[in-house]
Chains A and B, each alone.
Chain A
């Protein structure tokens, strides 16, 4: 017991094991007061871009037989904070700084869907898992 405590103390003193509190923020949440007044069936893509600025991603949406398509515009942001233990003395978070992983179903975001006439059909806030369910990779099939 004494040996383990001494070893832990030595690791702590050497900086090999440290507690850490990290926060990572990427971009800002889309403000509710900008999104709430949008009117499905009325507001155009031009109006929404003027109100909200540029989204993070644009996807093809409702592709018709005649080659027309609507568009889905995604805004996403990240604010993660928490305690952890750093065993190595370095942090991997720093190198993984920017780039949204769209497979991260827990990230908050907002999507606006526009029909082929580029008029707003609907919008929704939520997590990427709810907003982009069709874009997730399928789970691996269990082996027989």
Chain B
């Protein structure tokens, strides 16, 4: 009995372990709200009312540009006795809105990526088009 317990304990020590973790910053951007922005009509004030405070404001001469972003990270680790394998995949949502000197929206561009990170091993391709398309299909309103 004592021997079998020792064997069981020893084998548990040698077994591999896996770890998964997920972390993010900011809320993913709302594609429907971004689609409601209208160049030539929407003002900087309206953008802030709809999206909140930007992450960054950049002066471009008389123009200004606001950055909104969010990120999502999925981490995977395979922990063995002598060696560990770890992967960390981060993607971001990004929105830039450009205003003229009258604070009227002139341009905007968005990128949606926070739904795309994958739990993967470091030797797996995490940028495959099929995987991205599959993830995109599960996030309504996102067309890259």
Interface residues of A (CB under 8 A from B): 12-13, 15, 18-29, 45-46, 49-50, 52-60, 63-64, 67-71, 81, 86, 91, 93-94, 97-98, 116, 118
CB-contact partner of B122 in A21, A69, A71, under 8 A: A21
Which chain B residue has the least Cβ–Cβ distance from A15? B81
Residue-by-residue, is B67-80 near A (CB-CB < 8 Å gives 1, otherwise 0)? 10001010100000
Verify if B90 is at the interface (C-beta below 8 Å from A): yes
Distance A13 CA – B14 CA, assembled complex (angstroms)? 10
Verify if B98 is at the interface (C-beta below 8 Å from A): yes
Q: Do A21 and B84 have beta carbons less than 8 Å apart? A: yes
The 26 listed contacts between A and B (C-beta, < 8 Å) are A21-B83, A21-B84, A21-B85, A21-B122, A25-B127, A26-B90, A26-B91, A27-B91, A28-B91, A28-B127, A28-B132, A54-B110, A56-B92, A56-B94, A57-B67, A58-B60, A58-B65, A58-B96, A60-B58, A60-B59, A60-B60, A69-B62, A71-B60, A71-B65, A98-B71, A118-B107
Q: Do A46 and B82 have beta carbons less than 8 Å apart? A: no
Which chain B residue has the least Cβ–Cβ distance from A52? B109
Q: Do B82 and A55 have beta carbons less than 8 Å apart? A: no
Verify if B15 is at the interface (C-beta below 8 Å from A): no
CB-contact partner of B92 in A23, A27, A50, A116, under 8 A: A27
Q: Do A49 and B23 have beta carbons less than 8 Å apart? A: no
Main secondary structure of the interface of B (DSSP, over half): strand
Which residues in B have their C-beta under 8 angstroms from that of A20? 83-86
From known contacts A27-B113, A52-B109, A91-B86, infer whether A97 and B23 are also in contact, taking CB-CB under 8 Å. Answer: yes
Distance A27 CA – B93 CA, assembled complex (angstroms)? 10
Verify if B21 is at the interface (C-beta below 8 Å from A): yes
Which chain A residue has the least Cβ–Cβ distance from B59? A60
Q: What's the least CB distance linking A109 to chain B, in Å?
A: 14
Verify if B6 is at the interface (C-beta below 8 Å from A): no
**Chain B interface residue bracket vs A:** 35 or more
CB-contact partner of A23 in B71, B81, B88, B111, under 8 A: B88
Q: Do A53 and B88 have beta carbons less than 8 Å apart? A: no
CB-contact partner of B62 in A15, A28, A67, A91, under 8 A: A67
**Which 8 residue pairs of A and B lie closest in terms of their CB atoms, listed nearest first?**
A69-B61, A49-B109, A53-B111, A23-B122, A54-B94, A19-B83, A20-B84, A54-B109
Distance A22 CA – B89 CA, assembled complex (angstroms)? 11
Distance A64 CA – B63 CA, assembled complex (angstroms)? 13
Verify if B108 is at the interface (C-beta below 8 Å from A): yes
Which chain B residue has the least Cβ–Cβ distance from A24? B88
Verify if B31 is at the interface (C-beta below 8 Å from A): no
